[in-house]
Amino acid sequence: MRKLTWLPVFLAAFTGCQKEAIIDTVEPDIQILAPAADTVLPLGGLMPVKVDFSENLGLHTYFIWLVAEDGMPTLVEKQHLHALRHEVRLDFPLNGLAPGTYELRVEADDHDQNTTNAAVSVHLQ
């Protein structure tokens, strides 16, 4: 019987220490700093890629693609991470690509599957 007298005390302590679940409804923020929209780049050269990511509770994954006019994607960079902020700074080689207009497409999501997309067009000659 003595054990039952402590039950309300333990229940009060346990429920008082629980935190409310945080539901993330904010999408990650993507800032494409380079290349600038409609930049003309030489085939066989390098494309500077500078992207800043931020997220209120933490990024989960991102993908950076160079997508041809016919929809064929070339993976530039991807990463699975756990961070509030992340920077990508790289030079992507433009070897083996056909001349034309491409879209640098960036996709990011957080741990609650909030997704953001950003894109800029570039021209390869």
Domain residue ranges in the chain = 24-124
d(CA 19, CA 12): 14
pLDDT band at 22 (very low <50, low <70, confident <90, very high): confident
Largest Cα–Cα separation, the chain = 85
Would you give the distance in Å from CA 78 to the centre of its chain?
9
pLDDT digits (tens, 9 = 90+) for 60-113: 999 999 999 999 999 999 999 999 999 999 999 999 999 999 999 999 999 888
| % of the chain at pLDDT higher than 70 | 84
- CATH number for the region 24-124 comes to 2.60.40.10
